[in-house]
Amino acid sequence: MSDTFVVYKGRNAPFKARITDFDGSDYTDARMTAISRMELRYRPTDGATVEPVDSNNLDQRTCFDWATYAAEADVVIAIGLLDLTVGRDQTAELVVYDTTYPQGRVVGTLDIEVTAEAQGAGPLISILYPPLTVENDYPVVAADLSRPSIRVNAATLKTMTMPAGTSALDGARITFIILGVGDVKLLRNGTQTMINATHVSITGTQQYSSITLEYVHATGIWAVVSVNGSWGEI
C-alpha cells in the first residue's frame, strides 16, 4: 500500500485505501471481517510526535469503516474533522489488528496531505455510517456502533457477537432490527455480560422486533436501553 490523499481540514470527505497482505495480495473478505481495530499513525513533520487516529478511541471510531467495502479489501478513512496538524505530503502508517495479528501489523503507508484550505478546523463531528443488513452470523465491530442499526434478514437463527468492550466504547449504543423470520441471538465477546451477571445472551423471536444496547464499561455489561417486540434473556 502506497497512496497519496489530500485531506481538507474541517470537511467530511472520506477516502478509500486497499488492505494488502505480506505478499501484496488483497485481504480476503474473511480477513476483513476478522479485523477488530485500525490505527492511523500520522506524523505531520520530520521528527514530530505521531498523532494517532484509533478506532478504539470513542471519539475517533467513526473515522474508519472496513465493513462496507470488505469484499474489495478497502477501508474508508475520514479524518478531515479531526484536529490534526497541517502538513504537506506526510507519511502515515496504517496498522491493522485482527485474529492473526492481535498486537497489530503495519499493512502499509499513506502519504496524507492535510491542508487548512477549507471551512476551518471546527470540532470533531461524528460520521454516521448507513444501516448494515446482514443475512448470516456476524461479529459486530467497533465501527458498527456508529451505525443507526444492524438489520438481520434471515429465515433461521443468526448470532450477532458483540465487540469486546473497552473503555473507548463506554456509552456506545447499537440497535438490532429483525427483518426476517429467523430468531436473532446477541452474544457477548470476552468477559462482558449481557444485562447481568447470569445471562450472557438475548434472543429476539418476532419479526420486526428491535432492541438497543449500550455498553457500560464500569460494570462490563451491555445494558438494554429499549425493546420493541419480543426479546428475552437466555
- Closest among 110, 123, 136 to 6, alpha carbons compared: 110
Looking at 89-93, 133-137, 175-179, 206-210, which range is the least confident one?
89-93
> pLDDT (tens digit, 9 = 90+) per residue, 126-160?
445 678 999 999 999 877 887 889 999 999 999 99
Domain range summary for the chain, segments of one domain joined by +: 2-115, 132-233
Q: Which residues contact 172 (CB under 8 A, 6 or more apart)?
A: 58, 61, 142, 145, 214, 215
Domain 2-115 class in CATH: mainly beta
Q: Which residues contact 134 (CB under 8 A, 6 or more apart)?
A: 150, 151, 152, 153, 154, 158, 160
Provide the 10 A C-beta neighbour count for residue 229. Answer: 14
Looking at 86-90, 116-120, 130-134, which range is the least confident one?
116-120
Q: Which residue has the cell 450472557?
A: 200
pLDDT exceeds 80 at position 87 = no
Tell me the sheet residues that pair with 2.
Answer: 109
Higher-pLDDT residue of 119, 15: 15
**Degrees (nearest 5) of the Cα angle 13, 132, 34?**
90
Q: Rounded distance, CA 191 to CA 146, Å?
A: 23
Task: Provide the pLDDT confidence category of residue 125 given band limits of 50, 70 and 90.
Answer: very low
Domain 132-233 class in CATH: mainly beta
Q: If you ran DSSP here, which 8-state letter would residue 27 be given?
A: P
Please give the average per-residue pLDDT across 113-131, as a whole number: 57
Supply the pTM of this predicted model.
0.53
**Is-contact 3 20, C-beta < 8 A?**
no
Higher-pLDDT residue of 124, 32: 32
Task: Provide the pLDDT confidence category of residue 166 given band limits of 50, 70 and 90.
Answer: confident
**Is-contact 182 157, C-beta < 8 A?**
yes
Task: Provide the pLDDT confidence category of residue 89 given band limits of 50, 70 and 90.
Answer: low
Q: Which residue has the cell 436501553?
A: 225
Looking at 69-73, 118-122, 197-201, 218-222, which range is the least confident one?
118-122
**Is-contact 179 173, C-beta < 8 A?**
no
Run of H or E including 5: strand 2-8
pLDDT exceeds 50 at position 74 = yes
Quote the cell numbers at residue 148: 443507526
Q: Which residue has the cell 478513512?
A: 77
